[in-house]
Structure 1
Amino acid sequence: MVRRRRADLDRLYALLADLADRVGGARKLKHCTGYMDWPDRGVYVFFAPGETRSPDQHRVTRVGTHAVSAGSGTSLWDRLKGHYGTGAGSSAHPHGGNHRGSVYRERVGEAIIERHALHDDYPDWGTRWSGVDGDRGAVRDEEYPLERRVSTYIREQPFLWIDLDDEPGPDSDRAFVERNAIALLSNFERSTVDPRADDWLGRHSRSRKIRASGLWNVAHVDEAYDPTFLDRLERAVEGTTPP
């Protein structure tokens, strides 16, 4: 089983290397804008800078998609922009963000809090607005320094995207690829393959699934994977072009 999983991981990373060649290399969010010609729908893959499984292969750190609820109109850039946060032109909180609108941002912020013992500084981090006492504007101001740190961290992660445009829904090809890619990459409660670096920020996460899986994902890390997703991913890679 471990041998099969390792072979499937090698194929996944080979497909991602092919994808990188097709789009001119991985991007970083700090260099991206909504004016680029992004596909309407797709799957995205973030990598950990400085962590490699071979001399030229960065290790995957998060897999995501969007519009998996029937009728959803969220675009690929909408989701990426949520992780990016606010721009330089934001009058109140430039280069900040809204972690309550991005689970990725929320989890990175949690790990920073745990690593640096910042619990007293950010007592409401991760709490939905309905559970926050006091003025929301004041809470946003208090959380702004951490939102900036999260933005800096995420915007430095190289990422690739796969053009995979089908109707929104839990049975979409995008959901199928995302779910199974996460399950394949995850080391949660199974023999470890491609372990993360000891200093990976996610090791400080409050979530055992993040700490043990080696991914900034919680959903699907404890599931078995269907290797046929790699065939669907391969076809999608072949149809992906630079933005």
Structure 2
Amino acid sequence: MERSADLDRLYALFDRLEARVGGAKRLADCTGYADWPKRGVYFFFAPGETRAESGQRRLTRVGTHAVSAGSSTALWDRLKQHYGTGARSDDHPHGGNHRGSVYRRRVGEAFVERYGLHDRYPDWGTPSVPDGRDRAAVRDEEYPLERRVSAFLRDQPFLWVALDDEPGPDSDRAFVERNAIALASNFDRRPADARRSDWLGGYARSAKIRAGGLWNVAHVAESYDPAFLDVLERAVERTDPV
């Protein structure tokens, strides 16, 4: 019952956040010219999926950035990695680099598993292009799947909350990210807000994604500290539209 109540509070905060920022956005409609907060936490939701009890959009991934001491990565920098390349890019327009975005990598892996594309994309998910293979040739080979991943990610509604504290593993951003994942995850516990049977993540290579119901691997098996909801609530009240 405690987890159920905390999940309800988390989703209520999403509703308040959405009202403050004037609605969820899609990466397809975003650019770096908007007045994004320097630092924050973002929450992606699955199009067409809702919570059974309330009809609220179903959380599908939580993320942040600059959690290593001294990091200067900004919120839009991380979102842009998920977005990929633009229409005017001279190098693989509407593609991306899944080796620079774990979210892109996991989604691409699920496409490979779902549609049996192993022979077509043998190096997808490797940390770097394997020795002996031409980097440009591998990028050309993987380009159709990068485009597919871009289309998938750019269609997902997302919200963001401004949390501008110093980078580090003990930052409020890391605290909110870690505990939001732990609360929403169904890994090794009674499912809450179960995913649809056709959810792409059900084909993920990671059992933590398949069972957890989120495109997250870290923190899905951890217990959560409900105090993160107070930190998130204060951040929601300080977040402005972009």
The number of aligned residues is 241
**Which of 23, 26, 48 is residue 24 of structure 2 equivalent to?**
26
Distance 2:137 2:119 in 1: 15
2:159 partner letter: L
Q: Which position in structure 1 is the counterpart of 2:177?
A: 178
Q: Which position in structure 1 is the counterpart of 2:7?
A: 9
Q: 1:224 to 1:136 in 2, by over 3 A?
A: same
* Residue 83, structure 1, aligned to residue 82, structure 2: yes
Residue pair 1:40, 1:165 contacting (<8 A) in 2 also:
yes
Q: Counterpart of 1:91 in 2: which secondary structure? A: coil
**Deviation at residue 133 of structure 1 after TM alignment:** 3.0
Distance 1:238 1:194 in 2: 26
* Residue 113, structure 1, aligned to residue 131, structure 2: no
Task: Give runs of aligned pairs for residues 3-152 of structure 1, distance below 5 A.
Answer: 3-53=1-51, 54=53, 56-129=55-128, 131-152=130-151
Q: TM-score, normalised by structure 2?
A: 0.98
Deviations 1:112-134 (A, max 9, x none): 00000000000000112263431
Contiguous gaps of at least 5 residues in structure 1: none
**Deviation at residue 81 of structure 1 after TM alignment:** 0.1
2:207 partner letter: R
Distance 1:79 1:237 in 2: 20
- The Cα RMSD (Å) is 0.8
Q: Which position in structure 2 is the counterpart of 1:237?
A: 236
Q: Which position in structure 2 is the counterpart of 1:220?
A: 219
Residue pair 1:124, 1:132 contacting (<8 A) in 2 also:
no
* Residue 203, structure 1, aligned to residue 215, structure 2: no
Q: Counterpart of 2:223 in 1: which secondary structure? A: coil
Distance 2:142 2:33 in 1: 29
**Deviation at residue 43 of structure 1 after TM alignment:** 0.1
Distance 2:210 2:132 in 1: 30
Distance 1:17 1:170 in 2: 27
Q: Counterpart of 1:131 in 2: which secondary structure? A: coil
1:213 partner letter: G
Residue pair 2:129, 2:138 contacting (<8 A) in 1 also:
no
Residue pair 1:30, 1:156 contacting (<8 A) in 2 also:
yes
**Deviation at residue 91 of structure 1 after TM alignment:** 1.1
Aligned structure 1 segments of 4 or more residues deviating by more than 6 angstroms: none
Q: 1:132 to 1:62 in 2, by over 3 A?
A: farther
Q: Which position in structure 2 is the counterpart of 1:168?
A: 167
